[in-house]
Structure 1
């Protein structure tokens, strides 16, 4: 690797480390004090950066809490859907891709806490739902690419809507504060019900 390439790689790693430090500080302070008692200055002081640096990364303190980086779940959901084995039908591919992403997220040190905060503070929900819209669009894109359709066709949009709905339901059923609550098991059961057409229990 050239020295220029190494320098660029180092800068990108430092930027990601700063972003992550701000995110973790915001999560920690929100959980400790509640959102209304936390300021941008508090987050900066905890992360050891200036206000100017903070606003290079985020527009508000809530943005720092709800920060979303697709790399945390293994990259683009659409790409993960496309990469599933060719013999998987579209719904299976979506289930497998979402499951793999959630498994990675569960290993991330702040994702569980982020889920707790959104549940405890309804005013954070609209921003979280904006991420949900991007997720559904990414599912539709992945399904379209697997089937040779466009993301605006009915099949990818309907499958994406259904898969996203059962994923959100699984998340709502899961208790992030209970170590015994198994999100992946709930997710698998939800997708099994969807695949079977929701027969009467």
Structure 2
């Protein structure tokens, strides 16, 4: 499904159930601790059967950690990779990431709960960080492809190109984390995608000021 397409009724129900299960496991874990929470407890609070729980998550840990961040469609990724060297790559990446996160707009409460649980449970924090590292790796692959496409004279094995792609990825992830944190801490009903755009714009402005 394209990030700009509205999900159908079945998909909306699926997303609502997935969010309800995550909200339930996080709420119970925050109140009781991980060891005292069972799949039956989670299912009861989310008003589904244990069988339904396992249709969405393979384990309690998987529900605690939640979904991995995903990137936009293959078509949008290819468009970003082959935009050409003359465009504003930072703004283009911001647009790609904003589109990637449009389906997370209903997750603010879940994100806030997960942050609270992670503060008390290093185990959960470690698992969540592993998913973020996976996302960072996928993002770096895309950025590396863009740099190769923009600078074919360097070649994909160029150490300079690889190091630049890593630096650009880490900067982009920092801006994304800034946007996500501002969104989670805000009471305003402003979409996460707008925070992403604003964080990248602030980053761009600050780099101009330091020249």
Distance 2:185 2:113 in 1: 10
Residue in 2 aligned with 1:133? 133
Equivalent residue in structure 2 for 1:86, among 66, 71, 83? 83
Residue 199 (structure 1) aligned with residue 209 (structure 2): yes
- Tell me the alpha carbon deviations over residues 46-90 of structure 1, each in whole angstroms, 9 at most, x when there is no partner: 421349x7399423x23113331566x6456xx643323715443
Residue in 1 aligned with 2:41? 42
Q: Quickly say closer, same or farther: Cα 1:56–1:182, change in 2 above 3 A.
A: closer
Q: TM-score normalized by structure 1?
A: 0.68
Runs of 5+ unmatched residues, structure 1: 1-12
- How many residue pairs get aligned? The number is 178
Distance 2:103 2:56 in 1: 27
Q: Are the equivalent residues in 2 in contact too, given 1:144–1:156 (CA < 8 A)?
A: yes
Q: Are the equivalent residues in 2 in contact too, given 1:65–1:114 (CA < 8 A)?
A: no
CA RMSD of aligned residues (A): 3.6
Residue 188 (structure 1) aligned with residue 184 (structure 2): no
SS at match of 2:184: coil
Distance 1:151 1:179 in 2: 45
Q: Are the equivalent residues in 2 in contact too, given 1:174–1:181 (CA < 8 A)?
A: yes
Distance 1:151 1:117 in 2: 43
Q: TM-score normalized by structure 2?
A: 0.65
Q: Quickly say closer, same or farther: Cα 1:22–1:103, change in 2 above 3 A.
A: closer
SS at match of 1:175: helix
Distance 2:67 2:51 in 1: 22
SS at match of 2:101: helix
Residue in 1 aligned with 2:95? 96
Residue in 2 aligned with 1:155? 164
